[in-house]
């Protein structure tokens, strides 16, 4: 029957609560980064010859397609590809687990960037040549005096900067800050008591007074 409630005012049909808003923000940022990274790499592979340069803003911003077997920005060399793959998978698993305690919007964006960047490069490790878990990551953005990188790499670096800023401000993963006393619990309002009014005796009539005197 509709409208029937169980004891305590709870409905008989329990509704599953939606995921927390900040977890949805984390996953949304991560999904956006992954889509942008995958699409941009596919365009780079299709339209840019390997090791050729396309000058967009002189020598300040160039496009060049390279394949990276190392870590982000081609660090670590190709001999550690499987190790970097395992590290990326561990980072993804840790972020998904830590998201349960997420209470800060800043950390939601930070972990979303890190999750998206790690997953974007992990996709290359899994599906690209030369083999499963040993695939080369596609890099295609080049700046002066800086290793060639991709969208995933830039999001990982941005997440690192945000981690430093949030840590300097003392913002924890759950949104709290050290040294601040928790808010005192709110007490339910007590019903106001009606003040008692002293009653004064009514004055006696003249007839009553004369009767008392006889």
pLDDT at 134: 85
Residue 52 has pLDDT above 60, yes or no: yes
Domain count, the chain: 1
- Where is pLDDT greater, at 52 or 2? 52
Range scoring the smallest mean pLDDT among 27-31, 38-42, 99-103: 99-103
Question: Is residue 186 in a domain?
Answer: no
Q: What is the rounded distance in angstroms from the CA atom of residue 50 to the CA atom of residue 66?
A: 6
Asked if residue 73 belongs to a domain, the reply is yes
Residue 65 lies in a domain: yes
Cis peptide before 130 (omega within 30 of 0): yes
Alpha carbons 108 and 24: distance in angstroms, whole number: 9
pLDDT at site 15:
47
Q: Is the pLDDT of residue 146 over 80?
A: yes
156: Cα separation from own chain's centroid: 14
User: Which residues form the catalytic set?
Assistant: 139, 153
Residue 74: the pLDDT is: 57
* Cα–Cα distance measured from residue 193 to residue 211, given in angstroms and rounded to the nearest whole number: 43
CA–CA dist 62, 140 (Å, integer): 8
pLDDT > 80? residue 136: yes
Phi, psi of 68 (to 5 degrees): -115, 120
In whole angstroms, what is the distance from residue 71 CA to residue 78 CA? 8
Secondary structure letter of residue 11 according to DSSP: B
pLDDT of 188: 59
Structure confidence by residue, pLDDT tens digits, 190-206: 655 555 555 555 555 55
At residue 53, the 3 state secondary structure works out as coil
Residue 175 has pLDDT above 50, yes or no: yes
Structural domain includes residue 195:
no
**CB of 98 closer than 8 Å to CB of 173:** yes
Tell me the pLDDT band of 111, cut-offs 50, 70 and 90.
very high
CB 54 within 8 A of CB 63: yes
Range of the domain at 88: 21-168
Domain annotation covers residue 5: no
Bridging pattern class, strands 137-142 and 54-57: unpaired
Residue 206 in any domain: the answer is no
Alpha-carbon distance 120 to 126, whole Å?
10
| Residue 208 belongs to a domain | no
Residue 92: strand, helix, or coil: helix
């Amino acid at each position: 029957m509709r409208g029937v409630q169980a004891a305590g005012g709870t409905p008989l049909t329990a509704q599953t609560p939606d995921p927390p808003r900040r977890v949805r923000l984390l996953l949304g940022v991560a999904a956006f980064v992954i889509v942008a990274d995958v699409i941009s790499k596919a365009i780079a592979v299709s339209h840019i010859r390997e090791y050729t340069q396309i000058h967009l803003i002189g020598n300040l911003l160039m496009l060049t397609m390279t394949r990276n077997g190392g870590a982000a920005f081609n660090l670590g060399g190709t001999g550690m590809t499987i190790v970097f793959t395992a590290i990326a998978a561990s980072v993804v698993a840790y972020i998904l687990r830590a998201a349960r305690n997420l209470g800060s919007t800043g950390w939601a964006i930070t972990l979303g960037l890190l999750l998206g960047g790690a997953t974007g490069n992990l996709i290359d490790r899994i599906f690209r040549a030369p083999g499963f878990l040993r695939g080369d990551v596609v890099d295609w953005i080049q700046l002066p005096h800086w290793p060639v990188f991709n969208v995933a790499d830039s999001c990982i670096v941005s997440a690192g900067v945000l981690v430093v800023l949030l840590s300097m401000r003392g913002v924890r993963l759950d949104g709290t800050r050290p040294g601040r006393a928790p808010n005192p619990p709110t007490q339910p309002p007590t019903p106001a008591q009606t003040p008692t009014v002293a009653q004064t005796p009514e004055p006696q009539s003249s007839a009553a007074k004369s009767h008392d005197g006889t």
